[in-house]
């Protein structure tokens, strides 16, 4: 397999590092608008199969040219979701496969944004699934940790643990702390603002997809491994738009354990207009307020040395077990930042995101995961994925909770 990874930031660099320890690929090219950053990401792997180069992720033709030169079998999109359309289209034009970790962006309903959906996450990709199928190409959308591993957990529960699923709730929380910064998000603030301030989507069998207010339905969720109880709230996320397409489920939600301070900062940015992507003129120069916020904050990929704690991604499934008794099970993956820094030199959040597309790539290379069209992680057998994930050093787990 020949892989082209577009984006040499934290996640893209971690993908290269993780993949370099596996034998499944022939070559991996990591490309970025900054060729020096791509070269550094390739060099730190110490693997001659991995090379760095430059590409403009906004230019479909530039990506097609590079993918053709690399003879890429699959393009992995490790960029912010605002770059998705050009990379998705480039993979289709090249005739290769495609993986992203966040699907095409949503557009809220202009009249009733907190009641009904406008354009949902990934809608534009699913709209052309038949075109991909006709050409025998496969695109896997949302194949990071959340979405991604959380969806794999849901598929595993449906296949092996439950006879009926009433509700799936993805719950994400951490005990991560950053020394020396009062506010330092551990993932892209651009993406964080997008998903947290957009109208959250909920799925219910009788209603379909609908929206609610940001940070709605607060609940206290007790996370494993000593992370403990955190208040979790609804935010927009792909799992809610993915899971009902392949799984028979009564309700789907996604909730983050953000904390009151983090929510307060996001709401302040929103009130001041600093969450907006619409350019404003400052001393004759047009700038995006959100880009300014991102530029003022530390790079999440460079926080690992000052970060301590654990991060947990998991899926809570409620329904009837295979014995037809009520069951409530939390399937989860906990990562310690100290371990990822010692083993890979990457902080926990980006490593946990990056390991999952690498597992998917290996399953594609081995023929375990195959298909055509635009598919989510739920469309594939979860068992080989979870078996292979264990080989990367951090095992997944599950615990039953009172039903």
Secondary structure letter of residue 357 according to DSSP: H
Query: For every one of its 403 residues, what pLDDT tens digit does the chain have, with 9 covering 90 and above?
Result: 999 999 999 999 999 999 999 999 999 999 999 999 999 999 999 999 999 999 999 999 999 999 999 999 999 999 999 999 999 999 999 999 999 999 999 999 999 999 999 999 999 999 999 999 999 999 999 999 999 999 999 999 999 999 999 999 999 999 998 877 667 666 677 777 777 788 999 999 999 999 999 889 999 999 999 999 999 999 999 999 999 999 999 999 999 998 777 778 888 888 888 878 888 888 888 888 888 888 877 777 677 677 899 999 999 999 999 999 999 999 999 999 999 999 999 999 999 999 999 999 999 999 999 999 999 999 999 999 999 999 999 999 999 999 8
Angle, CA 299 vertex, CA 253 and CA 107 arms, to 5°: 40
CA distance 20 to 36: 19
217 within a domain of the structure (yes/no): yes
Residues 6+ apart with CB under 8 A from 393: 339, 343
246 inside domain: yes
Task: Give the span between the Cα atoms of 71 and 350, in whole angstroms.
Answer: 27
> How are beta strands 310-321 and 326-336 bridged, if at all?
antiparallel
181 lies in the same domain as 328: yes
Q: Are residues 155 and 85 in the same domain?
A: no
Please give the full DSSP string across 64-111, using - where no structure is assigned: HHHHHHHT-SEEEE-S-GGGHHHHHHHHHHHT-EEEESS-SPPB--SS
Q: Would 320 be classed as within a structural domain?
A: yes
Shared domain check, 220 and 290: yes
CATH number of 204's domain: 3.30.360.10
How far apart are the C-alpha atoms of 344 and 260, rounded to whole Å? Answer: 32
Do 202 and 85 lie in one domain? The reply is no
In a domain, 131, yes or no: no
For residue 126, is it within any domain?
A: no
Distance CA 345, CA 17 (A): 9
Give the β-pairing of 74-77 and 97-100.
Answer: parallel
Q: What is the tally of structural domains in the chain?
A: 2
- Same domain? For 162 and 289 the reply is yes
Q: Is residue 128 part of a domain?
A: no
175 and 308 share one domain = yes
In a shared domain, residues 47 and 153: no
Residue 336 structural domain: 149-347+394-400
Q: How far apart are CA 307 and CA 91, in angstroms?
A: 36
Positive or negative: CA dihedral 339, 342, 343, 345: positive
Q: Which residue among 100, 132, 164 closes a domain?
A: 100
Q: Do 76 and 161 fall into the same domain? A: no
Residue 59 resides in a domain = yes
Judge whether 236 lies within some domain: yes
Residues 188 and 292 in one domain: yes
Radius of gyration of the chain from its Cα atoms, rounded to whole angstroms: 20
Are residues 180 and 313 located together in one domain of the fold?
Answer: yes
CB 329 within 8 A of CB 173: no
Q: 43, 74, 100 — which closes off a domain? A: 100
- 243: Cβ contacts below 8 Å, ≥ 6 apart: 151, 154, 168, 203, 249, 252, 376, 378
Contacts of 176 (CB under 8 A, 6+ apart): 186, 307, 308, 309, 310, 311, 337, 348, 349
- Whether the predicted model's global pTM rises above the 0.95 cut: no
Q: Which of these three, 100, 120, 136, is where a domain ends?
A: 100
| CATH number of domain containing 78 | 3.40.50.720
Same domain membership, residue 86 and residue 160: no
Let me know whether 192 and 331 are in one domain: yes
């Amino acid at each position: 397999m020949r892989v082209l990874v577009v984006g040499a930031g934290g996640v893209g660099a971690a993908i290269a590092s993780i993949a370099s320890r596996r034998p499944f690929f022939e070559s991996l090219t990591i490309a970025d608008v900054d060729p020096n950053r791509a070269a550094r990401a390739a060099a730190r792997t110490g693997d001659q199969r991995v090379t760095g180069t430059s590409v403009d992720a906004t230019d479909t033709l530039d990506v097609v040219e590079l993918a053709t030169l690399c003879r890429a079998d699959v393009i992995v999109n490790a960029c912010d979701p605002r770059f998705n359309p050009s990379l998705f289209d480039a993979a289709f034009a090249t005739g290769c496969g495609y993986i992203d970790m966040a699907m095409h962006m949503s557009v809220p309903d202009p009249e009733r944004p907190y009641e009904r959906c406008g354009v949902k996450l990934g809608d534009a990709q699913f709209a052309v699934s038949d075109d991909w199928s006709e050409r025998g190409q496969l695109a896997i959308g949302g194949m990071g940790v959340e979405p991604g591993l959380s969806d794999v957990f849901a598929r595993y529960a449906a296949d092996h643990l439950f006879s009926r699923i009433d509700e799936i709730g993805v719950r994400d929380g951490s005990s991560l702390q950053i020394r020396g910064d009062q506010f330092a998000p551990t993932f892209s603030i651009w993406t964080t603002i997008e998903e947290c301030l957009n109208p959250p989507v909920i799925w219910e069998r009788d209603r379909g997809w609908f929206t609610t207010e940001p940070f709605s339905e607060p609940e206290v969720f007790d996370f494993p491994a000593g992370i403990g109880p955190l208040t979790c709230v609804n935010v927009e996320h792909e799992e809610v738009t993915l899971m009902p397409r392949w799984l028979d489920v009564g309700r789907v939600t996604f909730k983050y354990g953000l904390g009151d301070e983090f929510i307060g900062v996001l709401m302040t940015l929103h009130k001041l207009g600093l969450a907006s992507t619409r350019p404003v003129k400052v001393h004759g120069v047009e700038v995006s307020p959100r880009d300014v916020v991102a530029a003022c904050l530390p790079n999440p990929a460079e926080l690992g040395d000052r970060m301590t704690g654990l991060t947990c991604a998991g899926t809570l499934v409620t329904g009837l077990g295979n014995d037809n008794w009520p069951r409530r099970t939390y399937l989860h993956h906990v990562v310690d930042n100290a371990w990822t820094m010692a083993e890979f030199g990457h902080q926990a959040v980006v490593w946990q995101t990056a390991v999952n597309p690498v597992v998917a790539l290996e399953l594609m290379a081995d023929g375990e995961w195959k298909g055509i069209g635009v598919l989510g992680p739920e469309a594939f057998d979860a068992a080989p994925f979870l078996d292979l994930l264990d080989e990367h050093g951090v095992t997944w787990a599950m615990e039953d909770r009172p039903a």
